Amino acid sequence: MTADSAAAKAQADATQARATSDAALAMAQAEAGKARLAGQQAETDKANLRARLSQQLNSVLQTRDSARGLIVNMSDVLFATAQYTLKPEAREKLSKVAGILLAYPGLKVEVDGHTDNVGSEEYNQNLSDQRAESVRAYLVAQGVLTGSVTAKGPSLWALTTRLRAGRSTAG
């Protein structure tokens, strides 16, 4: 092989390597673009789902969007004083909520129980927990997946802060 032919072959190999590299780069950029579009579509789908769910829940109970997620407020008194058995009107509203939640099996639902400021903090914490559990159990009895619903009363700190503001009407 002559020096000219070796140089020509080396240049051809370099050109081929550059073309292969450029093709790989273009392919990687195309894949990154597809991934970016898929991510944007997923975010759009998630926002649409959240808006649809919010609208559906709002048809039953006051619902607002927050950084935590959608917050459904059952401001009506759901329980008799010092009790944690759901009143019939609360069960009716929760049945409607459960029906909506059943259409979204991947949702995670957190139930927070609340009390007024009558009684000790320990008593109210226990009652809050029991009330939250009553709502959770009712939703599960309506078919909402057990693992998707958690229940808790507010922390004693949150309860104390709320109590300082005056008696809650959340019942």
The 10s digit of each residue's pLDDT in 116-162 is 777 888 888 888 899 989 999 999 999 999 888 988 877 544 444 44
Cα torsion for 154, 147, 69, 49, to the nearest 10°?
Answer: -160
**13 pLDDT above the threshold of 90:** no
> Rounded mean pLDDT of 36-41?
88
The pLDDT tens digits of the residues spanning 101-119 come to 999 888 888 888 888 777 8
Q: For the residues 3-25, what does the mean pLDDT come to?
A: 85
**pLDDT mean over 13-34:** 88
Confidence at residue 125, expressed as pLDDT on a 0 to 100 scale: 86
Q: Which residue has the higher pLDDT, 160 or 42?
A: 42
Split at pLDDT 50, 70, 90, the class of 63 is confident
Mean pLDDT of the chain: 83
Residues 139-144: contacts with CB under 8 Å, at least 24 apart: 139/94, 139/97, 139/98, 139/101, 139/109, 139/111, 142/94, 142/95, 142/98, 142/99, 142/102, 143/98, 143/102, 144/98, 144/101, 144/102, 144/109
Confidence at 4, pLDDT banded by 50, 70, 90: confident
Residue 159 CB contacts under 8 Å (≥ 6 apart), including other chains: 115, 121, 124, 125, 128, 153
Predicted confidence band of residue 61 (pLDDT cuts 50, 70, 90): confident
